[in-house]
Structure 1
Amino acid sequence: MQVVKLAVLFLTAFLGRCQAQQRENSSSPWFCHDLDCPPFVTLDKNADYETRQYTPANWVSVNVQNYTYSAAVSKGFAPLFGYISGANKEGVRINMTAPVLVKVLPGDGPFCQNNFTISFFVPTQQGDTPVPTEPSVYLSRLPAATYFVSSFGGFADDTSVPAQAAALTAKLTANGEAFDSSAFWTAGYDAPYKLTGRHNEIWILKSDAAGRSGSTPAKSVAG
């Protein structure tokens, strides 16, 4: 039932996007599907992963505590979709973007809930970002950062996400890469009703030799 609900919300968003003006950045990767995506530069690439440098970007986010990835994403998607549908102080509709970004911060033990932050990218042409009216939704800003990124097909779910994150972690460790092991991100670019040719990503934050990495975005102060 949750999958059906998400599919309906995605379909509404993508149909609305098709009627909107095409975004200016037409050189973005194929997996953005003509949606506005955060710009990045690929610094390096091998058979297992690539190294991307992202510029600072604005996001709208919601925090969810849950035991499973799928349940957390389902719970977090609805208020974010409400925000872009007009649940903001300006009452304006905002174009759907890609990816749906999910930060996964594992709990302290096997019986603890995990912490998830689900985010929508704010369109680059948005200008002043409207303040959310839903208390759980907040505006955030990711600083410039470098991520190790691996991609996989199919659906990002409770089985594939941990497996893919573990695989990327193992490859980075084997290659002697310096990275932040406290959290990882998933990036999803496709609607739930798309069954084939899907593109998902795992992001792990690169750190320097001293272990320093990018900071976690903080809640904005509503004006």
Structure 2
Amino acid sequence: MALQNGLAGLSVATFKAKMKDLLRQSNAVGTTLASGPPCDDSCPEYQVVSRTARYEVRLYPAIIWVSYVTATENRLLAEMEAQAGIEDYLEGDNSRGARLRRGYPTLTQLQFSPGHSSGRQPGGDFSVSVPLLAETDPPRPTTDQVVLDSVDQQRVFVMSFRARPWKLTDRSLRMRTRRFSRRLRRHGQTFLDEYFYLAKYKESSSEHRSYYEIWLYGTPHESTHRFRPMGKRLLDRRSNLTIATMRRLCRGRECPRFEVLGEFPGGIQKRHYYNAAFATSRLDRCESSLSAVWSGLLPLHLYREGINTHLERIEPTRPAGVLRVWREEASNGTSVCHMTVMVYLPRRLHRSPPNTGVHAPTVGLSYIHELTVYVQTAGDLDLGSGHLDRHVTEFHMRLDELGLCYKSDEYFIAVYDDVQRYHGRMNELWTVAQRCPQPQEQDAL
């Protein structure tokens, strides 16, 4: 009522300015627990770095946590067992026999695969933790299931909600976390998604909806690349030819977005790729063959296995690797060859992909907004050492016979299957398409 009386009689411009000031004050850095969870001085203080209608970003100081680790398939049983073990430690079952003050929140760590499948399933390993406030040298545990964790200053993404305890199933938690992580991805936020955390506070009741939080820890380093899709589809709808080609090439894994614009004699397709992010690695030599693809994939393999700034394990995609070969004319009139190996990144990482890991081989990032290519399937024999140049020449001759125009100084080799597949390994040769000059343009040339 006081707010309404204070804003009464203001002009529209003054009203908007007042509201902006109020929002700025509510989102100011340094906001503490008073406007957050139901907690008192038993919780660590934190700063609110930013806030939206759905979540907030907090900065927690370095904290020592006591954790109880148990292997079971049931989260509720794990939490009950862990609570008893942590209480024993806090009540004196430790190396000094000291009674320690309990802190909040209670964090339950759960394994999570946010909509991407990399062969890992949520396991039965649960960790339940509580913060040790004002403890810089806590006593040692006396059991191998209790450990002390030293967590440095962390950026934490927090989504709060209320729910009745008996409705808080693992399935509902993962659904909430999946929506939460997708929203963060859309906003270009970078976070660790191997695990998520359920935070509980003192307030608990079986009769009312209790307060809970889902935590996702931020990555040690934020992305320096932020890509925004600018490419567009050329066809109104996905054709049957496009669907059949995707089924043949992708085989249940994520592929770059593309559409088949046409098909020509000899199994040649014209494809339009759009809005695709790639991790790239430059090659020092210019040996265009399959062996060059596999050698160039080594630093990218480390990058995909989590040796990156996000500590992110990146699920396999198809193609397994793409070799780009192009030539440029040097100042002395000679032709210089360049080669880059590329790996397609899943769409969930396109807005803010991870950078090169510390002390890791250099990995670049590139974004293809739109690329139209002529494609022909090629076997390993065609792409072997000493055969590739001839195969590229023959491919260009077929394009000339069909009256199709292309860039003669650039091509790609797309490898879809790994080295363990000896038979029927799927490879493709891509040549960049370009618009054919009109008759008047040819006369001018």
**TM-score normalised by the chain length of structure 1:** 0.73
Q: Which residue matches 2:130?
A: 120
3-state SS of 1:120 partner: strand
Q: Which has the higher contact order (CA 8 A, sep 6+)?
A: 1
Q: Percent identity?
A: 23
Q: Which residue matches 2:229?
A: none
| Most deviating of 189-198 and 152-161 | 189-198
Q: Is the 8 A contact 1:190 1:199 kept in 2?
A: no
3-state SS of 1:166 partner: helix
Q: Is residue 158 of structure 1 aligned with residue 170 of structure 2?
A: yes
3-state SS of 2:93 partner: coil
3-state SS of 2:170 partner: coil
Q: Which residue matches 1:212?
A: 309
| Most deviating of 162-171 and 145-154 | 162-171
* CA offset digits 1:33-72 (Å, max 9, x no partner): 3242122110000011101111110011122233333232
Paired with 1:92 and 1:185, the residues of 2 have a C-alpha distance of: 28
Q: 1:96 Cα deviation (Å)?
A: 2.1
Q: Within 5 A, what are the aligned runs for 1:32-51?
A: 32-51=38-57
Q: Is the 8 A contact 1:35 1:96 kept in 2?
A: no
* CA offset digits 1:85-132 (Å, max 9, x no partner): 11112212222211001222248545x6243221111022x3531211
From 78, 88, 92, the counterpart of 2:84: 78
What code does the residue aligned with 1:209 have?
Answer: S
Unaligned residue ranges in structure 1 (runs of 5+) = 1-26, 215-223
Paired with 2:107 and 2:85, the residues of 1 have a C-alpha distance of: 14
Paired with 1:28 and 1:44, the residues of 2 have a C-alpha distance of: 14
3-state SS of 2:194 partner: coil
3-state SS of 1:160 partner: helix
Q: Which residue matches 1:136?
A: 145
CA, structure 1 residues 106+159, in 2 after alignment: closer, same or farther (shift >3 Å)? closer
Paired with 2:68 and 2:109, the residues of 1 have a C-alpha distance of: 10
Q: Is residue 100 of structure 1 aligned with residue 100 of structure 2?
A: no
Paired with 1:142 and 1:106, the residues of 2 have a C-alpha distance of: 20
Paired with 2:204 and 2:83, the residues of 1 have a C-alpha distance of: 12
What code does the residue aligned with 1:116 have?
Answer: F
* CA offset digits 1:118-175 (Å, max 9, x no partner): 1111022x35312111221111111111111100112344243222211211211222
| Most deviating of 47-56 and 187-196 | 187-196
Paired with 1:132 and 1:121, the residues of 2 have a C-alpha distance of: 15
CA, structure 1 residues 191+46, in 2 after alignment: closer, same or farther (shift >3 Å)? closer
| Most deviating of 157-166 and 170-179 | 157-166
From 55, 58, 61, the counterpart of 2:64: 58
CA, structure 1 residues 195+89, in 2 after alignment: closer, same or farther (shift >3 Å)? farther
What code does the residue aligned with 1:153 have?
Answer: R
CA, structure 1 residues 157+122, in 2 after alignment: closer, same or farther (shift >3 Å)? farther
What code does the residue aligned with 1:177 have?
Answer: Q
| Most deviating of 128-137 and 203-212 | 203-212
Paired with 1:46 and 1:203, the residues of 2 have a C-alpha distance of: 15
Q: Is residue 169 of structure 1 aligned with residue 166 of structure 2?
A: no
**TM-score normalised by the chain length of structure 2:** 0.38
Q: Is the 8 A contact 1:186 1:200 kept in 2?
A: yes
Q: Is the 8 A contact 1:180 1:205 kept in 2?
A: yes
Paired with 2:144 and 2:50, the residues of 1 have a C-alpha distance of: 40
Paired with 2:94 and 2:137, the residues of 1 have a C-alpha distance of: 12
Q: 1:31 Cα deviation (Å)?
A: 2.9
What code does the residue aligned with 2:48 have?
Answer: T
CA, structure 1 residues 96+194, in 2 after alignment: closer, same or farther (shift >3 Å)? farther
3-state SS of 2:37 partner: helix
Paired with 2:204 and 2:309, the residues of 1 have a C-alpha distance of: 36
3-state SS of 2:77 partner: helix
